Amino acid sequence: MIPVTQPFLPTKEEYQKYLEGIWKRNWLTNMGPLASQLEMELKDHLKVNHLLFVTNGTVAIQMAIKALGIKGEVITTPFSFIATTSSIVWEGCTPVFVDIDQSSLCIDAKKIEEAITENTTAILATHVYGNPCDVEAIDRIAKKYNLKVIYDAAHAFGVEINGKSIFEYGDISTCSLHATKLYHSIEGGLIITKDACLLKKLAHIRNFGISGFDSFSELGLNGKNSEFHAAMGLANLKYISQIHEKRKALTQLYDEKLKNLKAVKPVWHHNSKENYAYYAIVLESEELLLQLKTEMDKYEIFTRRYFYPSLASALPYLPKLELPITEDISQKVLCLPLYYDLTFEEIELIARIMLRIQNN
């Protein structure tokens, strides 16, 4: 069997060393020393000034909306994981979908202004598969209309634009450290901001709004993470360069072997390099996609229609809206297996099967 993804794991011995410290201290959660250490090491690695380690990427988005005091309408993308939209609704706001760019698959910044109304207070955009949005254009629009900007950077760990972390853009960026991500802490998330005062507010929100031993500063939730998750994050961080290089090599082999496939890849941001979080292709037609997926399932080679269906037309708690580019792309996009332990031989097998099916 070849799964679509598989978590990277350090050696048991490396993880066990961290567990011995946890048992010795008997400090399991509530921002223990390992969680604090992980925050410091991630700040250094990502070259950001302010960062919080939280429960997961979804909670990070909810915290961001709450901390920025966002109400009313939030312009967002229909081509993302459901958490992007559900977080907006969960926080009592109204998502306003804007169609995506045909090439990058990120929100089309040229279409944002026409969606702005007197009730618009923010933009929540996703760096799809880690591919940066048009952050410069979004920044100009936000300043013009006095809007807050949150980036769902769940897939964008390690991505930079001109040597600057993608997490530094917008008022707040969030990231997922779920086990399916290229870097993970089993379950976990990050929330990043350039604003020190905002960081302090987020830190209070993460801990029920508690600001002192017997005082509260605002409405909060339990957004903390455990020492066991932090231990996995610390152990895995040592391998991030190795993980990146392996995934890069696997991606390059896919590119070579699938050059005759009737499909295209998303066009990456011109001032950024890939982090190889996913291998996504947009096939010539949904018919070809279904044919490939059905046949590969028989070989136990598992792919994922990610993201499908369009959030603008599939959610029972929102009015249905058909956006032509998103509808078209979501029907034809397919993510192929990509993970550290995937072998070059397996990629060659996948490519041979896909091309044989296409050409029959």
- Average pLDDT of the chain is 97
pLDDT tens sequence across 324-345: 999 999 999 999 999 999 999 9
CATH classification of the domain holding 228: 3.40.640.10
Of residues 93, 103, 46, 105, the one with CA closest to residue 66: 93
Question: 76 and 39 share a domain?
Answer: yes
Question: 174 and 293 share a domain?
Answer: no
Domain end residue (candidates: 208, 237, 266): 237
Instruction: For residues 54 and 185, give the distance between their C-alpha atoms in angstroms, rounded to a whole number.
Output: 11
Name the token pair of 185: 């802490």
Residue that is written with structure tokens 């010539």 in the block = 284
Question: 164 and 296 share a domain?
Answer: no
CATH classification of the domain holding 253: 3.90.1150.10
Question: 194 and 252 share a domain?
Answer: no
Question: 230 and 262 share a domain?
Answer: no
Domain around 330: 240-359
Instruction: For residues 321 and 311, give the distance between their C-alpha atoms in angstroms, rounded to a whole number.
Output: 9
Domain end residue (candidates: 210, 237, 264): 237
Is 285 part of a structural domain of the chain? yes
Question: 180 and 261 share a domain?
Answer: no
Domain end residue (candidates: 237, 263, 278): 237
Question: 44 and 124 share a domain?
Answer: yes
The pLDDT assigned to 115 comes to: 98
Question: 274 and 200 share a domain?
Answer: no
Structural domains of the chain, count: 2
Question: 169 and 228 share a domain?
Answer: yes
Cis peptide before 208 (omega within 30 of 0): no
**Band of residue 212 on the pLDDT scale cut at 50, 70, 90:** confident
Is 1 part of a structural domain of the chain? no
Of 269 and 360, more confident: 269
pTM of the full structure: 0.96
Question: 183 and 311 share a domain?
Answer: no
Question: 301 and 322 share a domain?
Answer: yes
Instruction: For residues 279 and 143, give the distance between their C-alpha atoms in angstroms, rounded to a whole number.
Output: 34
Is 255 part of a structural domain of the chain? yes
Question: 194 and 309 share a domain?
Answer: no
Is 2 part of a structural domain of the chain? no
pLDDT tens sequence across 240-295: 999 999 999 999 999 999 999 999 999 999 999 999 999 999 999 999 999 999 99
Is 4 part of a structural domain of the chain? no
Is 321 part of a structural domain of the chain? yes
Is 59 part of a structural domain of the chain? yes
Is 3 part of a structural domain of the chain? no
